[in-house]
Amino acid sequence: MLSAFPAKMPDVPPNTSFAGELCGVWIDDDGRAHLSVATADGGRKEQVETFRPFAWLGDAAMVGGVAGVEVETLKGEGTFRWLAHAPERAAFEEFVREVPEGAVIDWIRPLENQYLLQTRRRLYDKLIFPQLRRCQLDIETGHAAGGGFSDARNAADRVLAVGLQFGARPRLLVLEEETDTAEKRLLLELNDVLEAEDPDVIEGHNIFKFDLDYLRLRCKHHRVPCAWGRFGQKAVFRNSRLKVAERWIDFPRCDLPGRAVVDTYLLVQLYDIAAREMLAYGLKDVAIHLGITDETEDGRTTIEGSRIHEVFRTDRARFLAYLADDLRETRGVADLLLPTYFEQVKTFPLLLQEATLRGTANKIDLLFLDEYYHARQSCPQLSTEVAPFEGGYTRSFQEGVFRNVLHFDVASLYPSLLLAIGRNPRSDTLGVFIPLLTRLRDYRLNCKQLARTAPTEDLRAEYQARQASFKILINSFYGYLGFSGARFGDGDLAAEVTLRGRELLQALIDEFAKNDCIILEADTDGIYLSSAEHFAAPEKLLAEVSIILPPGIELEFDGSYAAMFCYKAKNYALYDGRKIILRGSALRSRGIEPYLKKLTDRLIRHLLGAEAASPLALLEDYRRRIEARAVDITEIAKSEVLGQNPETYEQFVAGGGKPRRASAEVALRLNPRPRMGDRVTYYITAKAKGQTSDWQRARAVSGYDPDRASYDPAYYTKKLDDWLERYGPFLGTLPPKPQGELFAGA
């Protein structure tokens, strides 16, 4: 029996408060659930309920348990055949401590997620996003020595201001005078404001690594409690890490009982995983990239980080305008990225903060565990490995520039194939996978329709956020099957879906070719082709090709483009006559030096017909100015994200580890040292005796001295030569490489 969600679309008018809706939960040391619920006037009130922590057991030796802990036998033959409930938290923790070494036990963390699963309640269930009580937070800090960056561990450095914004209402807490007493009053005032305003969520850009951690250290200095949570609770800090694509980010996590902390710095990196279009993740860069702030906007106040304290003293109005802009841009970023997670917590039994920091497989596991818990069905153990299987279809058919480009996409290819196959994973003994996927798909289609037809803008935005969130979730069901940590994974089923997907895409490619189309690029995201004949009427081509599709599989026309530059597989540029869309890291890498990026951007615009000027003139201009050392260091410096902490890298090198990395070597010399996930910007100096590698000559841009350690012109002009060798064939300056060489060496 599936749970009630999603049973129907909530039909809600905007600006309506839902009394009793759950807006926060915290489990205290006694195991009681403290709830923050919405009131009729849009406020929040506290309720307290009993809660029985639970764990799944897979070992008969544990069934005796601890006095007061109830153990029941579950249906089925899964690994976890027993379910233990404790009357309160102390008994639960004692039970866990008594577990014999090597015994099989599993439980949901944190306990707040357990409560949501056990009661089948969901946060913000019937609220729409505008009804979420949000607070943006940003701090500005001072460096007593002047002209540098503030360090909270220095007794004389301090918080200059705390910017808060509640909806359209800014609240700027500003240091009255530069004394310890005044800073202590400021920190106490922050506690009072958060208690009075009672937000559901606190948002900030890099709020974990900087704002909250800095406030923590200053509160510790003044012996002020970090009383930022609900229910009179203090903040809880611990070291944590988040995996973003292939790299890890270390950060000091902050949990606020009853509230969520949302770090937009992390959200934008998760958002950028697929497109990899952002060149930097600083607030200003992100705001421009997402269209929150115009790059040429005069109204945006800018202050160099090292001059913030000076401006605080000499131009208070400018300082406050800078702080207000940070709050505005933080809210703008969260406006775009947070609704997806807001919708997720209406589906999954987990806190909003957990939703922003957990992977999709973990969330899908919670959906299944909800069903198995309430059906009292035994559960399988987390899978540790999945047999490898061939990946999805990816192929580049052409290189160069093509006109009259059309894009066709198989709607939700893998979920549609899963539903067509209709088989649950072999470990899903309750048989919930396919029925749940079906209901989620139907729910998403309903939301998609209402996003077009809802009577108000607020509701249309709400339904659009829901359908986008559910699209991601539905598409993740296939990936979940092949994930090694998925409890209900099934590599054989994933392999069958992938095989059918490859066969289907090949059949479509063949059919398009029969209709005199030039196939350019194809993968699971769709097929790009060039056709002067069908460019004006793609719907006719769609109808002719769709007849080969099996029932339940739909082909969609997804857009037309004036031109497409095909570089290599999954690396291409599209031009629709107004804007250019880049795909793939080869054409737009976050680590590429700015002068090379500018050249590549000029190349792409020129090839696609968006700009007449060739990049060759710019290349020669760079060559001349680099040789004269007339190019600014920021144009040639390289930025890289640290893949490990400097201390770890230091141990790696001490143990004879290779290769050594320029960015990591620079990080070792910086004070304070950056952490894993931080970006390090460096340049290469001229060769000295015994220096044969880049890592020996790398220096931090922050300490650049053109007189004592200037950059090496030969190094950077060689990069111009490499760039021309790579892209020259498309400009007619070099004979084209054989296709195999192009694809292997690019």
Query: Residue 197: what pLDDT?
Result: 97
Residues 143 and 189 in one domain: yes
Query: What residues are paired with 698 via a beta bridge?
Result: 684
- Out of 329, 349, 384, pick the residue that ends a domain: 329
Residues 529 and 618 in one domain: no
Distance from chain centroid for Cα 465: 16
- Out of 305, 329, 353, pick the residue that ends a domain: 329
- Going by their DSSP bridges, the two strands 158-166 and 82-85 should be labelled as unpaired
Where is pLDDT greater, at 412 or 141?
141
523-548 pLDDT per residue, tens:
887 899 999 999 999 999 999 999 99
Residue type, 653: V
Query: Residue 103: what pLDDT?
Result: 85
Report the CATH number at residue 566.
3.90.1600.10
Residues 502 and 617 in one domain: no
Closest alpha carbon to 702 in 641, 631, 634: 634
Residue type, 564: M
Q: Tokens in use for 686?
A: 């001229």
Residue with the two structure tokens 């229910």: 231
The C-alpha angle with vertex 414 and arms to 411 and 416, in degrees rounded to 5, equals: 60
| pTM: predicted TM-score of the whole model, two decimal places | 0.83
Q: Tokens in use for 353?
A: 């903060």
Average pLDDT, the chain: 89
In this structure, is residue 524 part of a structural domain? yes
- Going by their DSSP bridges, the two strands 201-204 and 260-263 should be labelled as parallel
219-266 pLDDT per residue, tens:
999 999 999 999 999 999 999 999 887 788 889 999 999 999 999 999
* Number of domain units in the chain: 4
- Out of 294, 310, 329, pick the residue that ends a domain: 329
Query: What residues are paired with 27 via a beta bridge?
Result: 33
454-463 pLDDT per residue, tens:
998 888 888 8
Starting at the edge strand found earlier in the chain, the sheet holding 70-73 runs 70-73, 82-85, 54-57, 105-106
Query: Residue 711: what pLDDT?
Result: 95
56-65, 127-136, 631-640 — which is least confidently predicted? 56-65
Give the ranges where 345-412 is alpha helix by DSSP (H): 352-357, 360-375
Give one DSSP letter per residue of 165-204, joined into a string: EETTEEEEEE-SSSSHHHHHHHHHHHHHHHHHH--SEEEE
Determine the 3-state secondary structure of 680 from DSSP.
strand
508-512, 688-692, 694-698 — which is least confidently predicted? 688-692
Is residue 90 within 8 A of residue 111, CB to CB? The reply is no
Residues 83 and 150 in one domain: no
Is residue 59 within 8 A of residue 159, CB to CB? The reply is no
Residues 537 and 632 in one domain: no
In this structure, is residue 688 part of a structural domain? yes
Is residue 122 within 8 A of residue 349, CB to CB? The reply is yes
The CA R_g of the chain, rounded to the nearest whole Å, is 28
Peptide bond into 672 cis (omega under 30): yes
Report the CATH number at residue 725.
1.10.132.60
738 has pLDDT over 60: no
- Going by their DSSP bridges, the two strands 555-568 and 54-57 should be labelled as unpaired
Name the percent of the chain in helix, strand, coil, to the closest 5.
Answer: 40, 20, 40
633 has pLDDT over 90: yes
565-602 pLDDT per residue, tens:
999 888 999 999 999 988 887 887 767 899 999 999 99
The C-alpha angle with vertex 731 and arms to 728 and 736, in degrees rounded to 5, equals: 55
Residues 289 and 163 in one domain: yes
* Confidence band of 65 (pLDDT split at 50, 70, 90): low
Calpha distance 167→481 (Å, rounded):
41
Residues 657 and 528 in one domain: no
Give just the sign of the alpha carbon dihedral 346, 409, 413, 485: negative
Percent of all residues in the chain with a pLDDT value above 90, rounded to a whole number: 66
547-567 pLDDT per residue, tens:
999 988 999 999 999 999 999
Residue with the two structure tokens 């503030």: 150
Domain region containing 65: 54-97
Calpha distance 96→105 (Å, rounded):
9
Give just the sign of the alpha carbon dihedral 231, 234, 237, 243: positive
Query: Residue 394: what pLDDT?
Result: 84
Calpha distance 290→218 (Å, rounded):
33
Residues 607 and 574 in one domain: no
Residues 75 and 177 in one domain: no
386 has pLDDT over 70: no
Residues 322 and 199 in one domain: yes
Calpha distance 191→223 (Å, rounded):
13
Query: Residue 121: what pLDDT?
Result: 96
323-357 pLDDT per residue, tens:
999 999 999 999 999 999 998 999 999 999 999 99
Closest alpha carbon to 110 in 347, 350, 348, 345: 350
Residue with the two structure tokens 């899964």: 78
Query: What residues are paired with 54 via a beta bridge?
Result: 85
- Residue 444, burial from CB neighbour count under 10 angstroms (0-12, 13-18, 19+): buried
Query: Residue 63: what pLDDT?
Result: 76
Residues 198 and 311 in one domain: yes
Query: Residue 498: what pLDDT?
Result: 92
Residues 647 and 736 in one domain: yes
